[in-house]
């Protein structure tokens, strides 16, 4: 399986994970012009709509909750701004319409949902998202938890990360591909990449202990990297900064990772950190 899905910058669907590529995670990204409308149907999945940049109205219906409408969403013009996005959580069975009121960059994140109306649709405002700085030195990155495992959902987890030029991220290498809690959880994952300036690239490697998966990729703007299992570090060259949106899901909605033992010595170094 080729783990790199190439994207495009043109308006419309910029990139999408093929149906059935992963068991738990689904993803697509879209660029809409002002006045365009994107219909969204959750089906048996739950969704998190992330307004990466631009402005939109979101309205629709959800089982057990009736209609909903959130007009005037959007604040930032670029994913590289130091501010959190607006997002909308939609339970299984929902129908929605995303109406762009300016140029809009939208991510549609999917994972298996639960029928029965236990969770209703909700707006996730920027002020509700935890922001943090992880790492030190050339391992520093800036994290925004959009839909963490502490927030209500059935199986979906969503987080975004900005990494400065010349830095590493998701480093030291870690994985979450075994259902052996409390030490590790099984979560599939996708990385949706943006690069500034957009002609740049970053490097990402996905590998397992057994090396039955071992792919190193030059990842460009709008590309999607698929992580069915294994370690998945990112390195950003000098002169460019990196953004990625992570979508994770698995049989249990717990994010518990395991660091690569070969690089565990870094955890005792002053600049060490773990996770995304």
Count up the domains in the chain and report the number: 1
Residue 158 lies in a domain: yes
CATH classification at residue 171: 2.60.120.10
Tell me the pLDDT tens digit for each residue of 4-13: 999 998 889 9
Cα distance between residue 235 and residue 138, in whole Å: 10
Percent of the chain residues past pLDDT 70, beyond the cut: 97
pLDDT at 269: 62
pLDDT at 94: 96
Residue 166 lies in a domain: yes
Residue 276 lies in a domain: no
Residue 106 lies in a domain: yes
pLDDT at 272: 47
Residue 234 lies in a domain: yes
Cα distance between residue 196 and residue 199, in whole Å: 8
Residue 13 lies in a domain: yes
* Tokens at 215, concatenated: 């792919």
Residue 55 lies in a domain: yes
Q: Are 91 and 117 in contact (CB under 8 A)?
A: yes
pLDDT at 124: 98
Cα distance between residue 201 and residue 149, in whole Å: 30
Residue 275 lies in a domain: no
Closest C-alpha to 98, from 149, 33, 195: 33
Cα distance between residue 140 and residue 35, in whole Å: 39
Cα distance between residue 58 and residue 39, in whole Å: 10
pTM attached to this predicted model:
0.95
- Write out the residue range of the structural domain in which residue 73 sits: 4-268
Beta bridge partners of 158: 147, 247
* Tokens at 189, concatenated: 């994952």
Which residue positions in the chain have pLDDT lower than 50? Answer: 271-273
């Amino acid at each position: 399986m080729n783990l790199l899905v190439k994207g495009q910058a043109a308006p419309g669907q910029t990139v999408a994970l093929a149906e059935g590529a992963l068991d738990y995670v689904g993803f697509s990204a879209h660029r809409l012009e002002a006045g365009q409308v994107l219909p969204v149907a959750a089906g048996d999945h739950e969704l998190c709509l992330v307004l990466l940049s631009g402005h939109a109205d979101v309205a629709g219906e959800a089982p057990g909750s009736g209609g909903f409408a959130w007009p005037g969403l959007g604040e930032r013009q670029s994913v590289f701004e130091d501010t959190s996005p607006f997002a909308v959580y939609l339970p299984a069975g929902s129908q929605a319409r995303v109406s762009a009121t300016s140029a809009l960059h939208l991510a549609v994140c999917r994972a298996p949902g639960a029928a029965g109306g236990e969770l209703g649709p909700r707006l996730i405002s920027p002020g509700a998202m935890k922001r943090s700085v992880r790492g030190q030195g050339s391992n520093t990155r800036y994290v925004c938890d959009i839909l963490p495992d502490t927030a209500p959902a059935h199986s979906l987890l969503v987080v975004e990360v900005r990494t400065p030029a010349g830095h590493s991220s998701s480093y030291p290498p870690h994985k979450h591909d075994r259902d052996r809690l409390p030490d590790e959880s099984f979560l599939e994952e996708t990385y949706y990449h943006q690069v500034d300036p957009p002609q740049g690239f970053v490097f990402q490697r996905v590998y397992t202990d057994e090396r039955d998966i071992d792919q190193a990729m030059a990842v460009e703007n709008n590309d999607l990297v698929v992580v069915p299992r294994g370690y998945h570090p990112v390195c950003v060259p000098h002169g460019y900064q990196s953004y990625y949106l992570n979508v994770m899901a698995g049989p249990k909605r717990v994010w518990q990772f395991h660091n690569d033992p070969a690089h565990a010595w870094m955890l005792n170094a002053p600049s060490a950190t773990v996770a995304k």
